[in-house]
Amino acid sequence: MSGHSKWSTIKRKKADIDSKRGKLFTKIIKEITVAAKTGGGVPESNPQLRTAILAAKEVNMPKDNIEKAIKRGTGELEGVSYEEIIYEGYGPGGAAVLVHSLTDNRNRAASDIRNIFTKCNGALGEAGCVGWLFQRKGFITVPANGVEESKLFDLVIEAGAEDMKLDDDSAYFEILSSPSDFENVKQILSENKITFDSAEVTMLPQNTIKLTGKDAENMLKLMDTLEDCDDVQKVYSNFDIDDTFLEQFSK
């Protein structure tokens, strides 16, 4: 399983839905607001907004919250203006880290994110230092148990997927697509009643770095602490850590 998939698995195991709901709602509301501001408030003509709304619905965000976030983005309602900033740096052991931030205070965000990197034995770098290692892709994982590989492959490729493969543990099929075809692939899975474990447009690393021992521990702490920061939307990295260590961390 890729480093990205492993971190997604950790988050699912560690997540306490009730305690995290407020923070998750805040992050998704930011996504909706910014998407509406940059691309307009009509989901049908704004893929970024459409994806953000789907994410909101998946966590049962009230319709009223979604509508207000859209109106704040389009200027129909007053609200906070968020700035989108990408921070790049290195984690323990030299793993690349990409941080997507939406903030109403650039100085606060930069200071907080830099401090988190430092405390976890990482280092914030210059713009462009690691971004070239990642590609923006639609990424869907389907549990392999009970699924016919050839049938699934034909189905998702016809819907626009670029590739499909088994993860290292043969537990999941990993389906890749362009961001523009992501929703088509996701929809075809739903229409055929094929369960998917995760689905998102994300930044996937083109290669990975193996981490062990203290570097692995500090890397996971860095990811966890960054994602808990109010100004951080998403965090991506190219680390690879043994499953046994991940299981210990997720307990």
Domain extents in the chain: 83-132+207-245
Q: What is the pLDDT of residues 161-171, one digit of tens each?
A: 999 998 877 78
pLDDT at 146: 87
Average pLDDT score over the chain: 88
Model confidence at 1, in pLDDT bands (50, 70, 90)?
A: very low
Task: Check pLDDT > 80 for residue 181.
Answer: yes
What pLDDT score was predicted for residue 108? Answer: 96
Residue 214 clears pLDDT 50, i.e. is over it: yes
The 3-state secondary structure of the chain reads CCHHHHHHHHHHHHCCHHHHHHHHHHHHHHHHHHHHHHHCCCHHHCHHHHHHHHHHHHCCCCHHHHHHHHHHHHCCCCCCCCEEEEEEEECHHHCEEEEEEEECCHHHHHHHHHHHHHHCCCEECCCCCCHHHEEEEEEEEEECCCCCHHHHHHHHHHHCEEEEEECCCCCEEEEEECHHHHHHHHHHHHHCCCCCCEEEEEEEECCCEEECHHHHHHHHHHHHHHHCCCCEEEEEECEEECHHHHHHHHC
Q: Is the pLDDT of residue 20 over 70?
A: no
pLDDT digits (tens, 9 = 90+) for 31-45: 999 999 999 999 999
- pLDDT band, very low/low/confident/very high, at 118 (cuts 50, 70, 90): very high
Per residue in 43-86, pLDDT tens? 999 988 998 998 899 888 999 999 999 999 999 998 888 999 99
- For 5-9, 43-47, 149-153, which range has the lowest pLDDT when averaged over its residues? 5-9
pLDDT of residue 19 exceeding 70: no
Which pLDDT score, from 0 to 100, does residue 241 have? 86
The domain 83-132+207-245 is placed in CATH, from the list 3.30.70.980, 3.40.50.300, 2.30.110.10, 3.20.20.140, at: 3.30.70.980
